[in-house]
Structure formats: C-alpha cells, structure tokens
Amino acid sequence: MKRLNEILSEMGELYGSEKVCLTENECLPLEPDLTDLL
C-alpha cells in the first residue's frame, strides 16, 4: 500500500508540472490551460 501511495504521488507531481508546446514559443501547462481548451 505504501508503494502505491508513492506511485500515485509521483504521478500527480508529473501531471501537475508537465507542459505541452503547441508552437516553439507557446507552451501550456496541462492544468488548467489544456483542460480548458478541451
């Protein structure tokens, strides 16, 4: 159970910090920008 919590925590950190670049000069974070676009 402890390992599962560690993995879920790591996944949350990655998801919260990732960005997607639409162009070379325009990068958006997954939350909230890309969610709003969808």
| Predicted pLDDT of residue 27 | 87
- Give residue 33's domain range: 2-37
User: How many folded domains does the chain comprise?
Assistant: 1
Give pLDDT, residue 3: 96
CA 1 to CA 15: how far, in whole Å? 21
Cβ atoms of residues 19 and 35 within 8 Å: no
Per-residue confidence (pLDDT) for residue 19, from 0 to 100:
86
Task: Indicate the pTM of the whole model.
Answer: 0.49
Q: Please check the confidence at residue 6 and state whether its pLDDT lies above 80.
A: yes
Residues 6 or more apart whose CB falls under 8 angstroms from that of 21 comprise: 27, 28
CA distance 4 to 20: 27
- Each residue of 15-36: pLDDT tens digit? 777 888 889 898 888 777 677 7
pLDDT of residue 5: 94
